[in-house]
Amino acid sequence: MKIVLCCAGGFSTTMLMDNMKKIVHDSKKLDEADFEFKAIPVDLLNAEVEDTDVLVIGPQIAHKIDYIKPIIDPYHIPHVIVDKDTYGKMDGATVMKMVLIAKKKADMNK
């Protein structure tokens, strides 16, 4: 599963991505080989969208959802918008749960 984290510049999102990787690494249920993570600025989304399984949107660009949706909707890519509290805590576990739920819902609606 390719998870793309999208924010304004890609810097703080890299820290969240590292925490998400650690959650997967430490998990007894999840296999690291099943996951690929990438943190990008929103401006590069067009280049990454084709093989993305779930898009994680940082709170600092939540207002850009009207820009993002036309890019991801043709590919039927589920997305989650991380709230500022979860993001501020760099809570990788909560974001991974959000990602897995979004992916499962998307798969059920196919």
pLDDT score recorded for residue 11: 73
Of the candidate CATH numbers 3.40.640.10, 3.40.50.10860, 3.40.190.120, 3.40.50.2300, the domain formed by 2-105 belongs to 3.40.50.2300
pLDDT digits (tens, 9 = 90+) for 47-104: 999 899 999 999 999 999 999 999 999 999 999 999 999 999 999 999 999 999 999 9
In a 3-state reduction of DSSP, which class is residue 54?
A: strand
Which residue ranges make up each domain of the chain?
2-105
The residues, ordered by sequence, that sit 6+ positions from 92 with a Cβ below 8 Å of its Cβ are 16, 18, 19, 20, 21, 22, 23
Is residue 12 over pLDDT 90?
no
Q: pTM value?
A: 0.95
